[in-house]
Amino acid sequence: MNVELIKEFRFEAAHRLPRLPEGHKCRRLHGHSFRVEVRVRGEVDESDGMLLDYGVIRTAFSPVHRQLDHTYLNEIEGLENPTSETLARWIWTRLKPALPQLEAIVVHETCTACCVYRGD
């Protein structure tokens, strides 16, 4: 049986998008209550009936959360232009080694806008 598990995380952070044109509202410093979905996919292990314990996902995401929560994202290496797209890929590269079943990272920047990244 093939399944997809989704574990959600939230963090608060400020950023600005310096590559946008002068006058664009997102070029100015502002903040978001980000919501991140970590999605893993694979075959259920028949011996325990699970693909993966959610705690494994939480443990893998914990150092990422510590690095992002209540920060100015532009000051983090690799996030100098922290668009949702860049942030999703940045998270992916940190989680993929610990979560080989990683299927997607979904970054919700607002309640109506998100980016789905599935690797290159």
**Domains of the chain: total:** 1
Catalytic residue numbers read 26, 70, 109
Query: Contact at 8 Å (CB) between 30 and 41?
Result: no
- Position 92 scores a pLDDT of 98
Give the range of the structural domain holding residue 66, as residue numbers without chain letter: 2-117
Give me the CATH number covering residue 48: 3.30.479.10
Q: What is the mean pLDDT of each run of 10 residues along the chain (120 residues)?
A: 98 98 96 98 97 98 98 98 98 98 97 96
- Position 15 scores a pLDDT of 98
Contacts of 55 (CB under 8 A, 6+ apart): none
Q: What is the distance between the alpha carbons of residues 38 and 58, in angstroms, rounded to a whole number?
A: 9
- Position 42 scores a pLDDT of 98
- Position 66 scores a pLDDT of 98
Query: What are residue 86's phi and psi, to 5 degrees?
Result: -65, -40
- Position 53 scores a pLDDT of 97
